[in-house]
A and B are shown apart, each in its own frame.
Chain A
């Protein structure tokens, strides 16, 4: 697979990197950050991002069992993902899947970051950390879009 285009304005790339770095720093939990980033990249089908962040997740000590079961974290149970991780993953999904839904009221696939999802996250993370968690989900969604749209092939990243 070859990229459609490799172009990305250096000022754009720099600001995106600054956004990701600020979000990760404020979250202060590199292993959880990688779980969140990998899950968003699964939902957005970003091969480059999955390749890169699965490598980073392993480097940050995320257990193989969590990576194996991440796509089915809700079913995997709280012996695989604890309540804090589950709250973060639920928020990640809600903030990632904003689209769809011809009717929000009837829940036809549309997202609106439901109160129960937000409140569960707010129970586990204080406001400042929560703001950075949201920012991290936003930042990886941003990278997912820029990589998928340009069809950047996986494998270009070495930790």
Chain B
């Protein structure tokens, strides 16, 4: 019987495609500055939920590894992380403000399918004042950016230690 501990039975780990951060150091530097700027003024606990949800939608394994571990290390509950991919049905695990942020996250992430609807934007605008909302939009764009680097360059997955880039 294969057990959870029996990792020898697991599929082999892929190797990274492209070490973009080393190949494009100015790009990496700009990403770090952008990440730091977009985070200002936002609730850190909510922001991790936003990052995990965007990373789920964009299928970024590396970003899920990082942000679920960061969330857990910051004291987030396992339950709130597990329920994130069905947050509409498990609304009672989240605040109204977090729900508005999650809805906006989905709308801003899935741009190829539809246009950020008024109802979604208006609901977010009820819970976030204008400057905070602008930061939230920027932060959603930024996790989308990390997701794209992670997936396109197939970053390594599973080795992240919370706080290692802090």
Contact = CB atoms under 8 A, between A and B. Distances in A.
Interface of A: 4-5, 7-9, 11-12, 14-16, 18-19, 22-23, 25-26, 43-46, 91, 94-101, 104, 110-113, 118, 127-128, 130-132, 134-135, 137-139, 141-142, 144-146, 148-151
Given A127-B23, A131-B23, A99 B113 contact: yes
B8 interface: no
Nearest to B142: A142
Nearest to A100: B113
Interface string B102-118: 00100111111101100
Max chain B CB contacts within 10 Å: which of A99, A128, A146? A99
- The 8 A-B pairs at the shortest CB distance, nearest first, are namely A15-B34, A131-B23, A22-B26, A11-B37, A7-B134, A19-B30, A145-B141, A18-B30
Contacts of B40: 9, 11
Nearest to A143: B141
How many B residues are at the interface, by size bracket? 35 or more
A22 B58 contact: no
Nearest to A93: B112
| Chain B interface, DSSP helix/strand/loop, else mixed | helix
A94 to B, nearest CB: 7
Interface of B: 17-20, 23-24, 26-27, 29-31, 33-34, 37-38, 40, 57-60, 104, 107-113, 115-116, 121, 125, 130-131, 133-135, 137-138, 140-142, 144-145, 147-149, 151-154
A15 B108 contact: no
Contacts of A132: 23-24, 27
Contacts of B154: 113
